[in-house]
Amino acid sequence: MTLPNKYDWKKLQLFCQEVFEKAGVLKKNAEIVADSLIQADLRGVDSHGVVRTAIYVERIEKNMINPFADPEIEAEDTSTVLVNGNNNLGAVVGTKAVEIAMEKAKANGAAIVGVKGSNHFGTGAFYTLKAIEKDMILLVMSNASQTMPPTGGKRPFIGTNPLAIGVPAGKEAPFILDMATSVVARGKIIVASQKGQDIPLGWAVDKNGKPTTNADDALEGAVLPVGGPKGYAISMFIDILAGVLTGAGFGKYVHNMYENWDEPQNVGHIFIAIDINRFIPIELFKERIDRYISEIKAEPKADGVEEILIPGEIEFRKVIERKKNGIELPEKVAAELDNIGQRYGVDLAKAVFSKNEFVNQEEVINKC
């Protein structure tokens, strides 16, 4: 049976939420995780969207994730906090940590929250958007399991350890940098493999350290650092902060969620929140950042370039487009979700996108 490939974002989010609840996740936490996945798909980051539902559910089912454990504060000072995620879902742990970071920053101007005992936490942009809503700047870093070799090596040692930065604006779209320290996130290679597509040369090497365009061979090998030794160095630094400093796993001690079924992942994160009002009144800041952005976009364009964009702007527009026109899922992903839904008695068909349904455009724009 061929499944539909377009789904309504709200209904698909509800489908995922109900699946997680049926799998044993508390309702409030299921809402967070489903929101995290849908926000990734809406932004066009399909590698971190509902494609991750199956592996999250499987790890819950096999007791590799504890959906009942509350994240807890292990150490706390005026502007620093260490959170133990107690092996709950990464989006749940990350949300708790960013809430603490924003609360501390509001009270003290800035705050750093380190996290250990977490899991894959989705996209960094998911957390930066929470800070932007509160008129704060947020830096997010996380380590990940071994998928990238050090420069000069040929086998994976460090993760594609992501960095995200969110800065609010006024009339302009906010600045949101959300990047892996590899040429491409490994999740994009997973998606290419699921679609049976080749990948560009330069993304990855095979298990023998040879360049490859075959997605399956790349998954057996390693992705490459962005900018060569520079990306490697940044990834290593993130691993030091998120892993070594927090007491989480680092290097080979961050366990692969697809391959290790004996130990929790023990992922580490870092959240750095800055209260803009401690430096400059927020309205003045927004005026200045709008001016900065508009002046960048007004710069002379290179041949063949129609528009200069800022980080996060493509994704901002993608959210509007996908809320209006639906989220397109690869057939394999839709089949996976359908299978999970059947096991838990949740009907994926109810999430199918219909062009005839009314879309409130103002609501769409306001929630981007």
Domain range summary for the chain, segments of one domain joined by + = 1-62+319-368, 69-182+225-298
- pLDDT recorded at residue 154: 84
Please report, rounded to a whole number, the percentage of residues in the chain having pLDDT higher than 70: 96
Q: What is the pLDDT of residues 310-356, one digit of tens each?
A: 999 999 999 999 999 999 999 999 999 999 999 999 999 999 999 87
Q: What is the pLDDT of residues 167-176, one digit of tens each?
A: 999 999 999 9
Does residue 366 register a pLDDT over 60? no
Does residue 110 register a pLDDT over 50? yes
Task: Say how far apart CA 122 and CA 133 lie, in whole Å.
Answer: 19
> What residues are labeled active site?
120
Does residue 94 register a pLDDT over 60? yes
The CATH number of 69-182+225-298, from 3.30.1370.60, 3.40.50.20, 3.40.640.10, 3.20.20.30, is 3.30.1370.60
Please report, rounded to a whole number, the percentage of residues in the chain having pLDDT higher than 90: 88
Q: Picking from 27-31, 343-347, 357-361, which range would have the lowest pLDDT averaged per residue?
A: 357-361
- pLDDT recorded at residue 358: 45
Q: Which tokens sit at 41?
A: 């798909």
- pLDDT recorded at residue 355: 80
- pLDDT recorded at residue 357: 63
Mean of the pLDDT values across residues 62-69? 97
Sign (positive or negative) of CA dihedral 138, 142, 148, 150: positive
Which is higher by pLDDT, 184 or 16? Answer: 16
Q: Picking from 77-91, 96-110, 227-241, 344-358, which range would have the lowest pLDDT averaged per residue?
A: 344-358
Does residue 359 register a pLDDT over 80? no
Mean pLDDT across the chain, nearest whole number? 94
Is 266 in contact with 116 (CB distance < 8 Å)?
yes
Amino acid, single-letter form, for residue 334: A
Does residue 362 register a pLDDT over 50? no
Q: What is the pLDDT of residues 67-79, one digit of tens each?
A: 999 999 999 999 9
Q: Which single residue is written with the structure tokens 């989220």? A: 327
User: CA angle, corner 281, sides to 279 and 282, nearest 5?
Assistant: 105
Residues 140-156, buried b or exposed e (16+ Cβ, 10 A)?
A: bbbbbbbbbbbeeeeeb
CATH number listed for the domain at residues 1-62+319-368:
1.10.1530.10
Entry pTM:
0.92
Chain centroid to CA 62: 23
- Write the secondary structure of 222-254 as one string of H (helix), E (strand) and C (coil): EECECCCHHHHHHHHHHHHHHHHHCCCCCHHHC
Q: Picking from 112-116, 192-196, 275-279, which range would have the lowest pLDDT averaged per residue?
A: 192-196
Q: Which single residue is written with the structure tokens 């993760």? A: 159
C-alpha torsion 195→198→201→205, nearest 10: 80
Does residue 361 register a pLDDT over 60? no
Query: How would you list the strands of the sheet with 80-84, edge to edge?
Result: 72-76, 80-84, 110-118, 267-275, 136-142, 163-167, 175-179
* Residue 96 CB neighbours (<10 A): 22
Start-to-end CA span in the chain (Å): 34
